[in-house]
Amino acid sequence: MLNRDAKFSIGQVVRHRVYPFRGVIFDVDPTFNNTEEWWLSIPAEVRPRKDQPFYHLLAESDDSAYIAYVSEQNLLVDESGEPVRHPQVNEIFDGLKDGFYQVRRQSAH
């Protein structure tokens, strides 16, 4: 399979190319790393390729917050400048600046 660098970064705010949701990236898989069952549950006409980065998002739509797993081909930069309202954002990230959240530093005890 083709393996290449990810186009988006942890902390970056993105939106889905087709569906009405957005979120902040908190992890990246270089290629598809979910179950075959999950992948096959996507309708064939919109099913993404597996040979691309997949992103874990703290996602939000107008009425809910959830974790999303999205292929690179289906993401765009969110240029709204609005913060992501997902309740877990503050557990992982500090403030939003220029479309990116800063990863919260872990304190050593």
Residue type, 40: L
pLDDT tens digits, one per residue of 60-89: 999 999 999 999 999 999 999 999 999 999
Q: So where are the chain's domains?
A: 13-103
Measure the CA–CA gap between 25 and 54, rounded to whole angstroms: 10
Cβ proximity of 93 and 62 under 8 Å: no
Q: Does the pLDDT value for residue 49 go beyond 70?
A: yes
Take residue 97 and report the two structure tokens written for it: 């600046």
The candidate with the shortest Cα–Cα distance to 100, out of 16, 24, 22, is: 24
CB 60 within 8 A of CB 21: yes
Q: What is the average per-residue pLDDT within 89-108? A: 87
CB-based contacts of 52, cutoff 8 Å, min separation 6: 2, 4, 31, 32, 71, 72, 73
Instruction: Tell me what the pLDDT averaged over the chain comes to.
Output: 92
Q: What is the largest CA-CA distance in the chain?
A: 50
